[in-house]
Chain A
Amino acid sequence: DAGVIQSPRHEVTEMGQEVTLRCKPISGHNSLFWYRQTMMRGLELLIYFNNNVPIDDSGMPEDRFSAKMPNASFSTLKIQPSEPRDSAVYFCASTLDRVGQPQHFGDGTRLSIL
């Protein structure tokens, strides 16, 4: 079975540019999460969706970050304009909203903003 698929795997861009990260959750999963990992702060929740609806976006750092889930099989995380401090690994995870169901992580997108 295909796992959570993220693209791109690596992204290097100059500050000020728009960055779009993509995620395809596991088919049948109805909850999707975006996490960010940095050396300083470790792993943090940015936002999560349940049945395509954003439930908690309190972890989104600022207005430069936005996330959408237009359908059950696709989500995007956008940064505009990007800044060097946004450099991190961004993980997407999905799960089935049932007690006892684990989250499954994608391989992450390593983002470098120069």
Chain B
Amino acid sequence: KNEVEQSPQNLTAQEGEFITINCSYSVGISALHWLQQHPGGGIVSLFMLSSGKKKHGRLIATINIQEKHSSLHITASHPRDSAVYICAGISRGGADGLTFGKGTHLIIQP
């Protein structure tokens, strides 16, 4: 059974701080989604990656396949980054159902 472990569960930081959220996953998972869920409830896919690193604005996602570990970084954090960030594993391409971590509840204080 595929498993995804995410940490920390909760994170509060000051505006401007560098944020790191970690995700470990089991054998059988070939790629990861990083998802963002705002208090309104909608889920947005930030990144999908199976190797290396991806960057979009202040967000950076990395994945180490050998160590089965991925990180999501936020540079120059801002209160609008406050959300739940969810790591989700994919076992085959994009067409298998996702296995979700429990999410990291991030609060950025001004």
- Does any Cβ of B come within 8 Å of A78's Cβ? no
Known: A100-B50, A103-B33. A110 touches B93 (CB 8 A): no
B-side residues, CB < 8 A to A, are 31, 33, 35, 41-45, 48, 50, 86, 88, 93-103
A-side residues, CB < 8 A to B, are 31, 33, 35, 42-45, 47-48, 50, 56, 59, 89, 91, 93, 95-105, 107-108, 110
Known: A33-B98, A42-B100, A45-B99. A100 touches B93 (CB 8 A): yes
Apart from the given pairs A101-B48, A107-B42, 20 other A-B contacts in the complex at a CB distance below 8 Å: A31-B94, A33-B97, A42-B103, A43-B103, A48-B95, A48-B97, A56-B96, A59-B97, A91-B43, A93-B43, A95-B94, A98-B94, A99-B50, A99-B93, A100-B93, A101-B94, A102-B33, A102-B45, A102-B94, A108-B42
Give which listed residue, A44, A47, A107, contacts B100 with CB less than 8 A.
A44
